[in-house]
A and B are shown apart, each in its own frame.
Chain A
């Protein structure tokens, strides 16, 4: 720091007083140091070596300092005059960034205060460059000094200066003539020296903005430094980068109005509100105790958390807070509907939403009113249709040409199973997320099951979405979902051998026609099977849901059995068909068959059994996984067991899916003598025929006239 700057004009300043030690600004050093400044002054500088710049790196300052002294100082550039203004460092543009760490006013430089005053006096006297003044103005740490300063140099200050330090101002105002190196009005325009030009170019470069970003680097740095000076963090250099990023982010993402909610977060808040409602306990405070007892006594809500814990041992299932929410949602369901037993069946994934499925059984006598109404409507409809057919038949007979009746009869509709039996043994409720209302799924019909076996479609998540497929599925997504649930339940609901047993009041098996037993009850003497045995052999597990026959039902129904209505109509025709079809009774494996009897898939067992943790077999549970329906799991330990399904709802098939081919083209009716298709006459033929007819008519009339004339003539005679 010893070499004197190439300062052309030795200012008439006192060397001793000009303590550039007060500031780390090299400019001040250079400006105020005349040649031969005593070096001993330098060590007194309070700042460490860091902020001190070598003079060699400040080539331009000297030039800057070399602004013509002749210029009077009529007016400070407005922003520069503000004490401690952040705009001040704009003068330093073009220089290494260290220069821009402005001297934080150091309280320790008490000595500097006096010096400041002296300097200010000097400056006032001196017509020297404006930069010096700015420097000293900026150095002023105390307001009293400022006042002095203001008093001293009223003209030089911009009168409209804003209060407070470090106020960021409009970048547009930075473009003042003096900063650009041009003197304020009146003065001569000096030749822009190359270094000044460099400064101007540098500043212009920093001020440029790109098309994609309206913020210039200049402005960003201004923002950043304002922020730093306002907040005065402890160690700014270490957090400089994060401050940089946040400043930039804030510019582009201004904080929204506190009164308005963030629109993007709206659905999250709604969901949270709904789920909050789940957590509220029903009932008032005074009845709290009573309700607690009632609840503890007997409730239909299953212990979802326990099942979730065991499944988690195997790595299956939802996360624990999700399971808890499911539990609360089931509790809500139980409160809303008259439910006798309830079980969490599982989760079916869909494209846009998922389904949480609950398997419930209504209480005795609480028949679903909706179902009955629907059935009545159907029956009423059928009666009306029958009536219409009869009328139609009569009308047809009156018509001269009888349209030939098609010989095709739709295949008889297989009646769906009664509630509480077979595939419709349980009722299913679905909802897409805990907190949303539960929707009941309709009962499944055999036709739907049969069709569901032939198609393979993803569920979208909306119950009323149509299922577009070939062969066409009779129903919408709710029916398809229900059909898949029925298939999965029938194939994968298993329990350890002995947990369920058949009831003691058994009907004669022969009388039931081999339909098999369809009811079971819990075995009170069940002892539990050791986990290792459960895993070893599949014979220790049994199905406790009925197998679905190819017909689509669990109990077989002869489709040719006539109902009364059918017998009233078309008896004659039905008789002709009797002899043709003979339907074999379909038989499936009876209830409670062990898994070892299950068919294999391509030399692979349909089930995989594992112990949940090989490292501690004494405390693990047995987990069985279905290979036929990926996603179906069962755990069992001691006397407890549970089934769950989490998956997409499709069966596993090692072969590719081959969609059903369209039906062959139907035959037209055979042409016979009584029905012969003839081509319609063309227009010319019709016209010719018409002309001929007219001619014949005209000829006939003429003949009649002739005859009358003849008769008249005869009479006349």
Chain B
């Protein structure tokens, strides 16, 4: 959610039951402004909170002029001092896939993972147990990256793409209409499109190249991994992800308010197919 309208956004996203305490809100309002100034971001988004055993991580993301460029991620333990996290790489994601369980809350904590590795010694090949240390910071980076790639969403029309390439915030976005708000196809993943080129020409003919340049949620696997609800009659549409429980996206139809926040343990719900 945008740091500009943080308080209103938190109110609208409070239906999931998790939010921020007043002391945290106050510190965020101050510190995010300073982050924006120091790092010269175009927009700063409060991404959410990952619950750890000892303490929680508060995550923010900075967006540059081009909205679809890779976002910089910062974390903080007390909502005041923010540290930049390194960008995620494939290697990191693969390495941390083996770590299970909750986050500790201490960025320097190391998970130990034993692995059997083949070691060549001369002509002999035998397996040896190798203990690999994985830092929690790495795990944090890869989890945030995974969540961003799979479940960070925005409504259709909120960003538009110029012919020169960069994507901008659409200042004339007035919100989705009510009928559009209930459909999964009106929401896009906030990332570079992956499936777009696989569409048939017929489908592409109906798309508006300045608005429909990202993947929509319609074809997400597994089907049904999003729960759409209307709260307060039809005045607020809330999407919750079932794949990463804790991610809440809210949008008030016909207004410009929208945003998403993740408050959860940072674990993927792999049992989803059994639960539907």
Contacts and interface: CB of A to CB of B under 8 A. Distances in A.
Interface of A: 245, 264-265, 267-272, 312-319, 322, 347, 349-354, 433, 456-458, 602, 604-605, 608, 612-616, 625, 627, 630-631, 646-648, 650, 652, 654, 656-657, 659
A308 to B, nearest CB: 11
Contact of B276 (A458, A602, A605, A648): A458
Given A267-B233, A353-B229, A608 B274 contact: no
B24 A264 contact: no
A656 B231 CA distance: 32
A659 B274 contact: yes
A458 B224 CA distance: 11
Interface string B33-66: 0000000000000000101010000000000000
22 contacts: A264-B234, A268-B234, A272-B233, A313-B23, A315-B19, A316-B17, A317-B19, A319-B19, A349-B240, A352-B229, A456-B271, A456-B275, A458-B275, A458-B276, A604-B101, A608-B53, A614-B78, A625-B51, A630-B264, A646-B16, A646-B18, A656-B270
Contacts of B17: 316-318, 347, 349, 631, 646-647
B11 A319 contact: yes
A316 B172 contact: no
B185 to A, nearest CB: 18
Contacts of B23: 313, 612-613, 615-616
A658 B28 CA distance: 41
B133 interface: no
A350 B276 CA distance: 11
Contacts of A351: 227, 242
A627 B102 contact: yes
B170 to A, nearest CB: 12
A271 B22 contact: no
B31 interface: no
Q: Select the residue from A315, A604, A608, A656 with max chain B CB neighbours within 10 A.
A: A315
A118 B177 CA distance: 58
B121 to A, nearest CB: 35
Given A267-B233, A312-B22, A656-B270, 6 more contacts: A270-B233, A315-B19, A433-B231, A604-B102, A627-B102, A654-B100
A264 B11 contact: no
A347 B18 CA distance: 12
Nearest to A470: B274
Contacts of A647: 17
A264 B242 CA distance: 28
Contacts of A315: 18-21, 24, 49
B235 interface: yes
Given A264-B177, A313-B21, A351-B227, A245 B172 contact: yes
| Chain A interface, >50% SS class | loop
Contacts of A613: 21, 23
A74 to B, nearest CB: 48
B132 interface: no
B101 A654 contact: yes
Across the A-B interface, give the 7 residue pairs with the lowest CB-CB distance, nearest first. Answer: A646-B17, A271-B233, A268-B233, A657-B271, A319-B14, A264-B178, A315-B21
Given A313-B22, A456-B275, A264 B179 contact: yes
Nearest to A469: B274
B14 A456 contact: no
B234 A267 contact: yes
B197 interface: no
A265 B178 CA distance: 8
Interface residues of B, number: 42
A269 B227 CA distance: 23
B227 A352 contact: yes
Contacts of A317: 14, 17, 19
Q: Select the residue from B16, B235, B264, B276 with max chain A CB neighbours within 10 A.
A: B16
Given A313-B22, A353-B229, A457 B53 contact: no
Given A313-B22, A657-B274, A268 B101 contact: no
B199 interface: no
Contacts of B240: 349
Interface in B149-193: 172, 177-179
A322 B274 contact: no
Nearest to B265: A630
Interface in B1-23: 11, 14-23
Contact of B230 (A267, A614, A656): A267
Nearest to B105: A608
B107 interface: no
Contacts of B78: 614
Contacts of A347: 17
A314 B15 CA distance: 16
Q: Select the residue from A268, A612, A615, A654 with max chain B CB neighbours within 10 A.
A: A268
A554 to B, nearest CB: 27
A349 B11 CA distance: 17
Contacts of B53: 604-605, 608, 627
A647 B248 CA distance: 12
A340 to B, nearest CB: 28
B124 interface: no
Given A604-B102, A656-B270, A268 B24 contact: no
B223 interface: no
Contacts of A659: 274
A433 B276 CA distance: 23
A225 B235 CA distance: 35
A322 B270 contact: no
B105 to A, nearest CB: 9
B15 A269 contact: no
A322 B21 contact: no
Contacts of B18: 315-316, 646
Contacts of A271: 232-234
Interface string B82-126: 000000000000000000111000000000000000000000000
Contact of A322 (B14, B100, B245): B14
A357 B172 CA distance: 41
